[in-house]
């Protein structure tokens, strides 16, 4: 069991973006495409 955590902390213009948590069983690994899109959305 357990969970994986992807976290991002960004303080700009009064905003803080923090985390995404998911069960290890639901996603063993993220694709490169998914990670690029996530990074793009987080700025």
Domain ranges of the chain: 3-42
Instruction: Tell me the pTM.
Output: 0.41
Separation CA 2–CA 4 (nearest Å)? 7
pLDDT value for 28? 66
- Profile the chain (43 residues) by mean pLDDT over runs of 10 residues: 74 71 71 83 73
pLDDT value for 26? 67
| Cα three-residue angle 35-20-42, rounded to 5 degrees | 50
pLDDT value for 30? 75
């Amino acid at each position: 069991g357990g969970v994986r955590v992807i976290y991002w902390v960004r303080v700009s213009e009064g905003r803080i973006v923090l985390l995404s948590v998911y069960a290890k069983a639901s996603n063993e690994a993220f694709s490169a495409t998914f990670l690029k899109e996530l990074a793009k959305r987080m700025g």
